[in-house]
Structure 1
Amino acid sequence: MTIRILPAVGDPDAARVLSSLLSQLPDAEPAPAVADSGALLAALAQAAAPSARPPADPTGGRGPAPAVDALPEVVLVHERIGPLPALELIREVALRFPAVGVVLITQDAGPALFSAAMDAGARGIVGLPLGYEELAARVQAAAQWSAGVRVHLGGGPDAAPGPAGTLVTVTGAKGGVGTTVTAVQLALAARAAGRSVALVDMDLQSGDVASYLDVQFRRSLVDLAGIEDLSVRVLQDAVHDHPTGLGLLLAPEEGERGEEVDDRAARHIVAALRSRYEVVVVDCGAQMQSANAAAVELADVALLVTTPDVVAVRAAKRQVRLWDRLQIRKAADTTTLVNRLSRSTEIQPPLVAKATGTLMARTSIPAAFKELQPCVDAGRMQDLDARSTVKQALWALAGELGLVEAPAARQGRGGPRARTALTVRMRKAITAGAAPGPGTAQGPAPGASGFGPAPRFGARRGAPAATGPAGPMGPTGSTGTTGPFGAPGPYEER
C-alpha cells in the first residue's frame, strides 16, 4: 500500500531531517512540508474538496461528500508548529478529517503528553531526535488505521461527513456599524441561491440575530459547548429552523453564559456545522472573545465592517492590529467592508484600505437607513424590500465573496480568493423579487458592483486613493496626506 504523508513542520532544519528520513520509507509518498497550521488545514481542505454536491438540506443534513481518497493517509505534526498549538491542531484535523491518521513529533514523549495527544485524536507519538525505526513504525501503524477508517467511511449513507462548507465571519470594527444586518443578508442571499446555510450568532453577550429575524428560541450555542460528539441529531436539537430556510444557532439570552463557550468549543461547533452546511455565516459582533477569535482564525473569508468615520476606521485599525499581534489573522487575509457610504463622505474606501492595510470589498453599502428602519423595528430583516439599495448592495457582496456561485464554478479553483459569479438560480431569485438586477428601475446601489461577475476584492493596500476635495481632515486619500489615519497627522492614534 502506498502511504501518502503530509508533514507539518515550522523549523526548516527539522523539515529537512524529516524529509530525508521519510524518503527512505518503503512505499511512502511524502509531500513537501507545510510551515504552519493554517497551511496544513488549507491543504487538507483542498484535497477533501467535494466532487459533487447533493441537494441542499437546511435542516442539518449532510453536506457535500468529501473526497476521502484524495486525503493523505498520515499527517505528521511537529510540536513547535504554529500559530495553532500542536494539540489543538491535532484536534482540529481529527474533527474535520476523520480519515487521516495524525502522528505528533515531540521532544517530550512521556505518559502525560501521550495521554493528551491521544485525547486530541493523535494515532501515535514519535520522539525527538528522530529515529528511522520509530518513525517507520508509527507511520505504518497510522496508515493502517487510516485505511480501515476509509473502508468504514465509504461503506454507506450514514458515514461521517467531511469538511465542505464555506465559513464567513462578519466582525464589526465597533458596535453599531451594521455587523448583524450584513451577516443576516449574506446568509439570506446564499440561501436564495439554493445553498444550505447556517447563521451563527457568536456575539455571545449581546447577540441580536434572533431579534432581527423574529425568533423565539430555547436552545443556543451554550447547549453545544460541553458536547464532544456533535452528531446530526444533536445539531438539529440546537439549531433553529427558520421559515426562510436558514439554520440559526443563536447566542444565549443570558449574556453571562457566553463565557461557557471557549475557543475549543467554538472550533468544535464550527467544524460540525461546516460538515453539514454549504455556507456557515458567523456574526462575531464587535467584542473579541476566545470563541469568535477562533472562528475568525478558521474563516475562509473574514469580513470586517466599518463605517466611513474617524472613530470607526480607527477601531478597525485597532482590530486588525489585535488580530495580527495574537496571530489570529493577517491584515492581508482580512476583507474590509465600508457601510453607510455616500459620495459626499470625506473618508472613502481607498483611504480605509490605506489605514487598515486590508483588502477592500469592491462593493460598498450605501447610507440608506430609512430603507432598513421598518424591518429593524419589526424584527423582520427577511422582509427587506427588494428595491432597497442596501439589500441590492449586500446581495451583490454575497456574489463577490463567492457565497452564491455554482458548485461547478468552484471545482478546481484556488481557495476563497477566486473570482466568483452568480448562479442561474440566484439570478432567477433576483428577477422574481428577491433583489432587482442591473437594468431595472432601481439599478445597482451606489458603490456596488452590481450582480454580474466581478473580482472578489477590489482596492488593496497601497492602491491609488481617490482624490477629492480637501476637508477638515486633510485632502482625502492623497499621497502623503496628513489626517486621522496617515502619518504624521494631528489625529493619528499614538
Structure 2
Amino acid sequence: MSTRILPAVGDADAARSITTLLSQLPDAEPAGPLGDSTSLLDTLARLASESLDELPEVVLVHERIGPVPALELIREVSLRFPAVGVVLVTADASPGLYSAAMDSGARGLVGLPLSYEELATRVQAAAGWSVGVRRHLGQGADVFTGPGGTVVTVSGAKGGVGTTVTAVQLALAAKASGQTVALADLDLQSGDVASYLDVQFRRSIVDLSTIQDISPRVLQDALYNHDTGLGLLLAPGEGERGEEVSDRVVRQIISALRHRFEVVIVDCGTHMNAANAAAIEMADRTLLVVTPDVVTVRAAKRMVRLWDRLQIRKAEETITVVNRYTRNTEIQPPLIEKITSTKVARIAIPANFKELQGVVDAGRMQDLEAKSTVKQAMWGLAGDLGLVKSAEGADKQGRFRGDRGALGGRRGRAK
C-alpha cells in the first residue's frame, strides 16, 4: 500500500531537499510542496469534502511555514482532519519543542538537516497511525472527519456601517433554515451582539483566553444558548480585557466552533488586531460592509490593502456588502468593486432605518418583521453565501424566504 505525503514548506531550499528525499522513500506518493498554511488547509478541506479516503496519510509541516506558525498549523490540521498524521520538520529537536509539537497534535518530529533514515521512520510511523484511525472510523465511530462548518467573518470598513446588524441577521437566517449556528463577537473592545439580542450573560470569550486546549465542554461553558437557537460567544463587558484574547486563542476557538456548528458567523468589528486577523485568515468567506459614500469606500480600500499586506486575505477573495443602498447615490456597487478590487455582493442592503429603529432600540434584532426590505435583503444575502439549507426555508413563523422571490434577483432598493 502506498503512502500519500503532502509537504507544506515555506522555504524553497528546504522544499527541494524534502522533495528529493520523499521521492526515494519506498511506496511513497509525495505531492508537490505547498508554500503556505492557507494553501495546505484549503487543499485538505477540498480533499476531505470529496471523501476521507482522498486525504493524504501524512502531512509534513516545515518550521518556516506561514502565515500561521507551524505549531498552530499542526493544531489546526489535527483538529479539522484527525485522520491525517502530521510530522514537524525543524532544526530545533529539543525536548521542549518535541513536547510542544506532541501537545499540538503532531505524530512525530524530524530534525534538520534531514536524514533519510529518520524521515522514513517518522513518515512510516505517522502513516501507520493514520491507517489505524481510518480503519477505526470505517467501523462507524462517531468522530468528526470532514472539513467542518462554514466560517464567515463580517468586518466594517469603518464604524457605524452596520457590521453587527449584518452579522446578526446572517446568523438568524442560517438558523431559520435549520442549520446549527454560532455567532462570535470578536469586536473585543466594543462588541454589541449582546445588546442587539437582549442578552445578559457574564461569560465571554475572555474566559477562554487562558485555556490551553479548548474542549467541547469548555467551549459550551462559555457559550450562551439564545432563545433563537443561536450559540453566542460574546465580547467582554470590559473592553480593556479584549487584549487578553490572542491570535492563538482565536485559532483554537474558531476550530472548536467549526467542529460543533454548521455555520459560524464572526463579527470582527472595524478595528484590526491579531485576534480578528486570525479569524479572517481562517474564514471560508470574508465580508466587508460598506456604505456608498466616499469616506467609507476609501476606508474599505485601506482595509483591503492592510489585509493583503498582512497576508491574511486577498482583495479578490473578499466580498463587499453595500449597506444603506439607494439607486440615486452617485457611488454605485460597480464603482465600489472597481475601487476596492473586491467582489461586491449581488444583493445590496436598502437604506431603510425606520424598519430597524424599533428592534434596535429594544435590543431585539430577532423581532425584525419578515416583510422588512432590510431583512429580506440580508436573508437573501445569506442565501447567496450558501448559509441556508435551501432557497425556500421557514422561520419560526414560517415566513423565511431565500430572497430571490422576495427581491426578484435584483439589488434591494430603498422605499
Q: 1:226 aligned to 197, 210, 222, which one?
A: 210
Question: Which residue of structure 2 lines up, in the alignment, with residue 241 of structure 1?
Answer: 225
Task: Please state if 1:433 is matched with 2:399.
Answer: yes
Question: Which residue of structure 2 lines up, in the alignment, with residue 373 of structure 1?
Answer: 357
The change in CA–CA distance for 1:277 and 1:307 in structure 2 (over 3 A counts) is: same
What's the secondary structure of 1:432's corresponding residue? coil
For residues 401-420 of structure 1, the aligned pairs below 5 Å read 401-405=385-389
The change in CA–CA distance for 1:27 and 1:161 in structure 2 (over 3 A counts) is: closer
The change in CA–CA distance for 1:232 and 1:161 in structure 2 (over 3 A counts) is: farther
CA contact (8 A) 1:391 1:435 kept: no
Of the structure 1 ranges 378-387 and 219-228, higher mean CA displacement relative to structure 2 is found in 219-228
Deviation at 1:429, TM superposition (A): 4.8
In the alignment, residue 97 of structure 2 is paired with which amino acid? L
The change in CA–CA distance for 1:394 and 1:430 in structure 2 (over 3 A counts) is: farther
For residues 298-317 of structure 1, the aligned pairs below 5 Å read 298-317=282-301
Task: Please state if 1:75 is matched with 2:59.
Answer: yes
Question: Which residue of structure 1 lines up, in the alignment, with residue 2 of structure 2?
Answer: 2
Question: Which residue of structure 1 lines up, in the alignment, with residue 252 of structure 2?
Answer: 268
Question: Which residue of structure 2 lines up, in the alignment, with residue 395 of structure 1?
Answer: 379
Question: Which residue of structure 2 lines up, in the alignment, with residue 488 of structure 1?
Answer: none
Question: Which residue of structure 1 lines up, in the alignment, with residue 115 of structure 2?
Answer: 131
Of the structure 1 ranges 194-203 and 113-122, higher mean CA displacement relative to structure 2 is found in 113-122
Question: Which residue of structure 2 lines up, in the alignment, with residue 39 of structure 1?
Answer: 39
CA contact (8 A) 2:154 2:167 kept: yes
Task: Please state if 1:291 is matched with 2:291.
Answer: no
Question: Which residue of structure 2 lines up, in the alignment, with residue 196 of structure 1?
Answer: 180
Q: CA RMSD in A?
A: 2.4
Q: Distance in 1 between matches of 2:79 and 2:285?
A: 21
Deviation at 1:71, TM superposition (A): 2.4
Deviation at 1:384, TM superposition (A): 0.8
Residues 65-93 of structure 1: per-residue CA shift (max 9 Å, x gap): xx544322210112222222222222222
In the alignment, residue 241 of structure 2 is paired with which amino acid? R
Question: Which residue of structure 2 lines up, in the alignment, with residue 463 of structure 1?
Answer: none
Q: Distance in 2 between matches of 1:321 and 1:355?
A: 11
The change in CA–CA distance for 1:439 and 1:10 in structure 2 (over 3 A counts) is: closer
Q: Distance in 1 between matches of 2:145 and 2:117?
A: 35
What's the secondary structure of 1:335's corresponding residue? strand
Task: Please state if 1:28 is matched with 2:12.
Answer: no
CA contact (8 A) 2:325 2:412 kept: no
The change in CA–CA distance for 1:185 and 1:214 in structure 2 (over 3 A counts) is: same
Question: Which residue of structure 1 lines up, in the alignment, with residue 78 of structure 2?
Answer: 94
CA contact (8 A) 1:267 1:295 kept: yes
Q: 2:237 aligned to 253, 268, 288, which one?
A: 253
Deviation at 1:157, TM superposition (A): 5.3
Q: Distance in 2 between matches of 1:439 and 1:231?
A: 42
Q: Distance in 1 between matches of 2:90 and 2:253?
A: 28
Structure 1 segments of 4 or more deviating over 6 A? none
Q: Which has the higher helix share?
A: 2
Deviation at 1:335, TM superposition (A): 1.0
CA contact (8 A) 1:389 1:445 kept: no
Question: Which residue of structure 1 lines up, in the alignment, with residue 48 of structure 2?
Answer: 48
Deviation at 1:106, TM superposition (A): 2.3
CA contact (8 A) 2:156 2:162 kept: yes
The change in CA–CA distance for 1:241 and 1:157 in structure 2 (over 3 A counts) is: farther
For residues 149-164 of structure 1, the aligned pairs below 5 Å read 149-151=133-135, 159=143, 163-164=147-148
What's the secondary structure of 1:222's corresponding residue? helix
Q: Distance in 1 between matches of 2:382 and 2:327?
A: 23
Structure 2 unmatched ranges of 5 or more: none
Deviation at 1:340, TM superposition (A): 0.6
Deviation at 1:323, TM superposition (A): 1.0
What's the secondary structure of 1:296's corresponding residue? helix
In the alignment, residue 400 of structure 2 is paired with which amino acid? A
Deviation at 1:27, TM superposition (A): 2.3
Question: Which residue of structure 1 lines up, in the alignment, with residue 19 of structure 2?
Answer: 19
Q: Distance in 1 between matches of 2:371 and 2:253?
A: 36
What's the secondary structure of 2:369's corresponding residue? coil
The change in CA–CA distance for 1:46 and 1:211 in structure 2 (over 3 A counts) is: same
Of the structure 1 ranges 6-15 and 194-203, higher mean CA displacement relative to structure 2 is found in 6-15
What's the secondary structure of 2:399's corresponding residue? helix
The change in CA–CA distance for 1:320 and 1:437 in structure 2 (over 3 A counts) is: closer
CA contact (8 A) 1:193 1:404 kept: yes
TM-score with structure 1 setting the length: 0.78
What's the secondary structure of 2:126's corresponding residue? helix
Q: Distance in 1 between matches of 2:273 and 2:218?
A: 25
For residues 320-359 of structure 1, the aligned pairs below 5 Å read 320-359=304-343
Question: Which residue of structure 2 lines up, in the alignment, with residue 147 of structure 1?
Answer: 131
CA contact (8 A) 2:381 2:403 kept: no
Of the structure 1 ranges 191-200 and 76-85, higher mean CA displacement relative to structure 2 is found in 76-85
What's the secondary structure of 1:23's corresponding residue? helix
Residues 151-176 of structure 1: per-residue CA shift (max 9 Å, x gap): 55556655356541000000011111
Of the structure 1 ranges 365-374 and 396-405, higher mean CA displacement relative to structure 2 is found in 396-405
Question: Which residue of structure 2 lines up, in the alignment, with residue 121 of structure 1?
Answer: 105
Q: Distance in 2 between matches of 1:322 and 1:221?
A: 25
CA contact (8 A) 1:152 1:159 kept: no
Q: Distance in 2 between matches of 1:338 and 1:132?
A: 55
Q: Distance in 1 between matches of 2:72 and 2:377?
A: 38
Structure 1 unmatched ranges of 5 or more: 52-66, 406-421, 450-494
What's the secondary structure of 1:176's corresponding residue? coil
Aligned length: 413
The change in CA–CA distance for 1:445 and 1:153 in structure 2 (over 3 A counts) is: closer
CA contact (8 A) 2:154 2:266 kept: yes
Q: Distance in 1 between matches of 2:121 and 2:343?
A: 46
The change in CA–CA distance for 1:345 and 1:129 in structure 2 (over 3 A counts) is: same
Deviation at 1:200, TM superposition (A): 0.7
